[in-house]
Structure formats: structure tokens, C-alpha cells
Amino acid sequence: MNIQDIKKVELHCHVDQLLNQHILTGLQPIEKYKKLITGLEQLCPIGSIQDWLENYGPYIDSIVSNNGEFLLKLLELYLVKSKQHNVIYSEIMLSGFTFQHEDIDRQIELYKEFRESADRIGGDGYRIEFLIAFGRTSNRREMELLLNRLLRVKEAGLICGVAVAGLEEENTVKPYTDIFSEFKKAGLGIEIHAGEWKGPQFIWEALEYGYADRIGHGLAAFEDPVLVKHIKENSIHLEFCPTSNLYLTKYKKIEDHPLKHALAEGISFSINTDDPGPLCCNINHEFELVQKTFKLTEKDFDTIRENSLRAAFKPTEEITFENRRRSP
Ligand SMILES: [Zn+2]
């Protein structure tokens, strides 16, 4: 099996985690980015979550913070690469870093440029949609402001969902169940990162109080058989990110990744890059890694693709069956 020929769906990739020395070489004029490349060569790939927090995180903040235009350039390079890797559908998480304008109308204008780039690069065979990702917080005022802004972006037709990342235990979802309910009423899909660093109770919380349709990572689900049953019966989708999970979670050996349990249980899951910048990975690499480790067949990849498309936050009926198939 040639992994390049497998048609792929990616549901979990952060636009503010695309930057590394390799992607920068695609930006012109290259002289302008030489200094950045040298700085990044020392940081990527990151070695651990501590490394990310102490080194890559602050560095990336200083470069992309309030710099939506720069992130748009990186996104364009990433989408071109994804298309080459035979991706047929992507949902990309825009982040707080792209929220560079206080004035939401100006922000919407910027997001329209993201939309136009995605349409231009995607063309006929590759569809791209956007979510807005935000960090867990314990500040209600902040969440209320965010809700108003996100609803405006949704009304403008520029996002199909929201995603929530951050430390699970410190900032729980439960106090904001009313706000998640508003997201749902507005027709936004809800993704919550949970069970990445902490236990299954945070996945339960994301489902019960955050109305999550999809769980980012969800590794800890497999520590709780009742939760596994619940996820299966309610068609909750898990977004696995193999390299990210190896670098950033307690699963230090790919052989121990719960993907094999999910496959055996018939649970819907996708295979994603999460942070291709600091992890120096790409979607072909992720597919290859799981194929080699778990001996996935073409039929398994067909199932993964169909389940991923079913879990997409934007209806995907128009992606015809022929288009979904592997390349000849
Ligand atoms: Zn993530």
C-alpha cells in the first residue's frame, strides 16, 4: 500500500502551530526569513510538553501573536502540502492569535481572506473548513465576549465549529455549560480537547456540560469501559494525533496508543497532525506511522475516512463516493 495514494481527512490541526524551519523555506523572499529559520532549527522538533511550554511556546507567541496575515501565509503553504498529500477534507483551527482586530468587522474581513485562500488552493478535489479554537479559561467575562464574537463570525458563514484546548483540570468546562449551549443553538459543531493529559472524567465533563460532538485526543477514554460504550453508542468521534500524543502525553510508545482499541471497538476516529510545526510532522507521516505500527489495511483506511467525513462539522455529501476513493 502506498500511503500517498490514500485519500485523507484531517479534523485536528492548529493554524498557530504550523511554524517551523521547513515551512518557512516556502516563504519568499527567503532572505527575509533566514533569521527566523535559524531560531526555529534550534527549537523544532520539540522534545516534550515542558520544552513546548518553555521554549517553542514563547517563541511562537512573539512571532505570530496578533499576526493573522503571517498565519494566513503559513496556512496557504500548509494547505498546498496537504493537497499534495491527497487530503480531500480539512478542518483547520483558527486561534486567538488570529484575533488581531478588536473591531469584529475588521476581523471578519481578515477571515474572508482565509476563506478565499482555502477556496483557491482547495479547488475541486479538496475542501477546507474553519473552526475557532480558544483556550480553557476561568474568566466568565472573557467567555461571554468570545461567544458574541464567535457568533458574529458564524453569521458571516466563516466557521462551522469551535474547539477548546488547554489544561483540563485547572479550567473545567462545567461552569460555562450555558455558553456551550449557545454555541450548539447557533449550529456550531463543538470539539473539546479532553483525556489528553488527564483522566476519563474530563471527557465525561466535555460531553455532559460542553455538548462535545468530537473529543480532541480522548486517549483516557480507554481507561473507562462505560465511557467507551457511551462513545460508541452515541457516535462520539475521537481525534487522534499520533506524533503529538507520543511527544506530549504519557503514551511514549506508539504500540501502546489506544488507536488499536478504537479500531477493535469500531469507534469513530480520525488521524491528525495537531501541531505539525513544533512536531515536524505531516499527514502522510502520521498515516505511515499508524500503518506500520498497527498494520492497517486499505479497508481500515476507507473506514477511517468515512467515519471522519461523517464527523465533519460541515455536511460533506457533495464529496462524491468516487472522490473519496483511493487514487488509481
Ligand atoms: Zn490540539
| CATH code of the domain in which 237 resides | 3.20.20.140
Distance 27 CA to ligand 1 centre (A): 25
- CA distance linking residue 167 with residue 175, whole number of Å: 15
Distance 17 CA to ligand 1 centre (A): 9
For the residues 108-113, what does the mean pLDDT come to? 96
Residues with CB under 5 A from ligand 1 (ion): 274
Percentage of the chain modeled with pLDDT above 70: 96
**What average pLDDT is seen over the chain?**
94
Question: Is the pLDDT assigned to residue 160 strictly greater than 90?
Answer: yes
- CA distance linking residue 81 with residue 51, whole number of Å: 27
Distance 39 CA to ligand 1 centre (A): 23
For the residues 289-304, what does the mean pLDDT come to? 97
Output the CA–CA distances (angstroms, integers) from residue 81 to 113, 121, 243, 253, 282, in the order listed.
19, 10, 18, 27, 9
319 confidence band (pLDDT: 50, 70, 90): low
Question: Is the pLDDT assigned to residue 238 strictly greater than 60?
Answer: yes
Which domain, by its residues, includes 38?
Answer: 3-324
For the residues 305-314, what does the mean pLDDT come to? 95
Q: Are 86 and 9 within 8 A, CB to CB?
A: no
Q: Are 6 and 287 within 8 A, CB to CB?
A: yes
Distance 245 CA to ligand 1 centre (A): 10
- The confidence score (pLDDT) of residue 282 equals 97
Q: Under 8 Å CB-to-CB from 102, ≥6 apart: which residues?
A: none
For the residues 227-251, what does the mean pLDDT come to? 96
The active-site residue, picked from 10, 129, 191, 196, is 196
Distance 193 CA to ligand 1 centre (A): 7
- The confidence score (pLDDT) of residue 95 equals 87
Is 196 considered catalytic here? Answer: yes
Q: Model-level pTM greater than 0.75?
A: yes
- The confidence score (pLDDT) of residue 157 equals 96
Determine the residue type at 68: G
Phi/psi at 54 (5° precision): -90, -30
- The confidence score (pLDDT) of residue 327 equals 45
Distance 31 CA to ligand 1 centre (A): 31
328 confidence band (pLDDT: 50, 70, 90): very low
99 confidence band (pLDDT: 50, 70, 90): confident
Q: Of the given ranges (100-109, 242-251, 293-302, 319-328), which has the lowest mean pLDDT? A: 319-328
Question: Is the pLDDT assigned to residue 109 strictly greater than 60?
Answer: yes
321 confidence band (pLDDT: 50, 70, 90): very low
Question: Is the pLDDT assigned to residue 60 strictly greater than 60?
Answer: yes
Hey, what's the cell of 4? 500517498
- The confidence score (pLDDT) of residue 167 equals 85
Distance 268 CA to ligand 1 centre (A): 18
Q: Which residue has the cell 479532553?
A: 194
97 confidence band (pLDDT: 50, 70, 90): confident
CB pairs under 8 A, 24+ apart, for 223-227? 223/199, 224/200, 227/200, 227/203
- Please give the tally of structural domains in the chain: 1
Question: Is the pLDDT assigned to residue 40 strictly greater than 90?
Answer: yes
87 confidence band (pLDDT: 50, 70, 90): very high
